[in-house]
Structure 1
């Protein structure tokens, strides 16, 4: 009984909590070109560097724009920050809402805010906190080079969140496939180089064909962790993934594990900031 009561109270807290401020009403829905996708169904992801997020060790930021139904014009977004707290546990702060477009300006109306957490990379994310934040508005200008630039705005009706993020959002991936673009891309989150401030990366044992990966703590020459939206849809353990270095050179590596949107990659000794794949999987069942 106590467990059920606690669950009900937690669900009520997620639905009822709200940050004070006037509710912002988006304009009427209308079809528009989604950067990287067009007017059809698809997903685009962008990277950004968070400037402040309530934790001491910010790792990366990701913006996801998506249109999921061919029958509706609705476009939604998920703006996510990955960090670790004072004891080294991972935290994911997530802003969700709907998108409207006027000319070259995207207006992101926030509806919900969530915080998820886990201790190690191989753990599953669990919800920790949630609240309604429908007074927040992010405005982004679409640049000719495909990047998005945040437009600061301070009025009586809106709260400027310039303190939270830097301005430039760089394209990562898009799906369905657009010529020359990745269908999935992840940013390098950590590697087992503790001397330079990285987190230790532990992975369980895995077997691929006749080869067995022993598991344990990955060495600095053996692996890294990448983070990207919808990783489980596009990647499986044993898949080959491409690593992109700063000089645009590429190397091939192997996926060891995919947990939520965290991907453990073997043979990722080069400090490639992005990993990606042009291969996408067609679902074979309702829960695939």
Structure 2
């Protein structure tokens, strides 16, 4: 089942199920099961809604304005250089053999945007890049979670695009500035319950720029696995329902292409993951 956050007909924020091209409103302007998709995850409603959703107020999917799947997560934890193919292109493959812990940075909730919303390239940079990734959303509070129990804490998965302002990212050893410009964290279009997907290692991630395939990898190519990530992150911080972990990007980012594959205004970037739909954002130059 595909869940989404979007703007209701009255302009308020809502959420619901998108099925066969129709969005069914389960939020305050509809069946009012919870005030937001994040709240639905927190209350344990996410992934449990049956066929009664078809009684909700409905609109064509083509008419809705998507919001980030989780609009106000308490934490967004991003993992850097976590696909073997990306390690190779960055020249860090040998270093990774000795790495004991994942590279971690944070993204702010207000830097996110939804499916079909513009990716905002700041006019101050010529180094705007894409990073197609898979995000997971926490469904159960956890602290010091064992790897064997990690999947029990995952509510669902979605596509993510960690658009990066490379000159700001690489100006110092800490990446946070280049990862938090407004309108650079694409999240969606759907959040899909983990129970609907089976083995996530069998999913394939593909990123396209103007239709050209730039990244393609199996989730099984992650260096630090999802259980390892959840166990490590909960070793230093408590994760709550609605928190997000963005698991890393495969090889094929624009910065390491020859010639350069960095983005320009008007470029259309799509991140498609098996069973999760296609996240699409068009680059827009902003002051």
* TM-score between both structures, scaled by the size of structure 2: 0.29
Higher strand residue share: 1
By percentage of residues, which structure has more helix?
2
Higher radius of gyration, 1 or 2: 1
State TM-score, norm by structure 1.
Answer: 0.29
